[in-house]
Amino acid sequence: MRLIGYKAISGIIQCVSGLRIGGSKDTIEIGGMDNPIIRNPLDKFPYIPGSSIKGKMRSLLEWEIDGKLGRDGNVHQFKDCNKDTNCPICRIFGVTDDEVNFGPGRAIFRDGWVTEKFKDKLKELQLKKGLLYVEEKTETAIDRLKGKAKDGSLRQYERVPAGTEFSFRIDYRVFDINDNGNVDNENFNWLLHGLWLLEQDALGGSGSRGYGQIRFGYEKEKNFIPGKVFVDNKEEEIKDRYEEITEQKKR
């Protein structure tokens, strides 16, 4: 087995709706809300942890690929696919099993940082609203019998405002395991399919309440171009690849 190369997916993540990825309450400042988002501790700007993208994409692909949903709702493990060394979930995301002999997980999910353009916009928001690079979202629960807000149910959340853009990058390792890297290259298509799945779903918390809708794209002449990313500096469309990969009609 030897490492024969890397593939790189890069572009921009744009928030279509407010994004909430929770941070530690230990870092709440005076006057801050009880439900803060995660921030870079050095400059206080929000960011998207690579682990959040990886975890959500992995769960979506486990639902999408036949036989990959873990037992009892747990994360897919090597034993769940009868220790199939070509398993796209195991190969792409990695597994912890002493019997694994196909190397580390192929995908490296980088943290996403607010673009320089949107750092300026968030600074403007701070000056206007007095909030530290976020919007404030107030929610409540409704008393079903009285038809009004339930006493004591008012809560406030920090969210990254809709429209904010983050850098995006996934590096993908290709190994030759007596196959010239063919399995890894084929599984790479599932990773691209995962981008499309993520656009259909939500990133971060409270997706069922409208949070976390995103879309992928890239910047051209200071404008956001949706629907495409770069793969090794070449444009690649974000699309449903299920039938292309499996050669089966989508169920």
CB 92 within 8 A of CB 106: yes
Quick one: average pLDDT of 41-60?
Answer: 96
Of 81-95, 166-180, 232-246, give the lowest mean pLDDT range: 81-95
247 falls within a domain: no
Mean pLDDT for all residues in the chain: 89
Quick one: average pLDDT of 157-168?
Answer: 94
| Distance (Å, whole) CA 6 – CA 185 | 10
The values of phi and psi at residue 126, to 5°, are -60, -40
Between 61 and 75, whose confidence is greater? Answer: 61
Check residue 248 and give its pLDDT.
Answer: 87
Residue percentage of the chain with pLDDT more than 70: 93
Q: What is the dihedral of CA 111, 117, 120, 121, to 10 degrees?
A: -90
143 falls within a domain: no
Check residue 28 and give its pLDDT.
Answer: 45
pLDDT higher than threshold 80 for residue 65: yes
145 falls within a domain: no
pLDDT higher than threshold 50 for residue 183: yes
Give the chain as a DSSP string.
Answer: -EEEEEEEEEEEEEESS-B--B--GGGPPTT--SSPBPB-TTT--BEE-HHHHHHHHHHHHHHHSTT-SPGGGPPP-GGGGTT-TT-HHHHHH----TT--S-S-SEEEPPEEB-HHHHHHHHHHHHHH--SSSEEEEE--EETTTTEEPTT--EEEEEBPTT-EEEEEEEEEEEESSSTTHHHHHHHHHHHHHHHHHHHS--SS-GGGTTT-EEEEEEETTEEEETEEEETTEEEE----HHHHHSS---
Between 140 and 183, whose confidence is greater? Answer: 183
Q: How confident is the model at residue 25 (pLDDT cuts 50, 70, 90)?
A: low
Structural domain containing residue 133:
2-137+152-241
CB 36 within 8 A of CB 158: yes
237 falls within a domain: yes
Q: How many residues does this entry show for the chain?
A: 251
CB 158 within 8 A of CB 19: no
| Distance (Å, whole) CA 95 – CA 78 | 7
Check residue 109 and give its pLDDT.
Answer: 98
* C-alpha 125 chain-centroid distance: 25
Check residue 251 and give its pLDDT.
Answer: 65
Check residue 34 and give its pLDDT.
Answer: 61
Q: Which of 104, 75, 109 is nearest to 91 (CA)?
A: 104
pLDDT higher than threshold 80 for residue 99: no
Residue percentage of the chain with pLDDT more than 90: 63
24 falls within a domain: yes
Check residue 24 and give its pLDDT.
Answer: 59
Check residue 30 and give its pLDDT.
Answer: 43
Quick one: average pLDDT of 77-104?
Answer: 84
CA atoms within 13 A on the CB side of 49: 13
pLDDT higher than threshold 80 for residue 82: no
pLDDT higher than threshold 90 for residue 135: no
78 falls within a domain: yes
Domain total for the chain? 1
pLDDT higher than threshold 90 for residue 123: yes
pTM score of the predicted model: 0.89
146 falls within a domain: no
Quick one: average pLDDT of 82-86?
Answer: 83
Check residue 31 and give its pLDDT.
Answer: 47
pLDDT higher than threshold 80 for residue 42: yes
Handedness of CA 212, 214, 219, 221 (dihedral sign): negative
Quick one: average pLDDT of 43-56?
Answer: 96
124 falls within a domain: yes
The values of phi and psi at residue 212, to 5°, are 75, 15
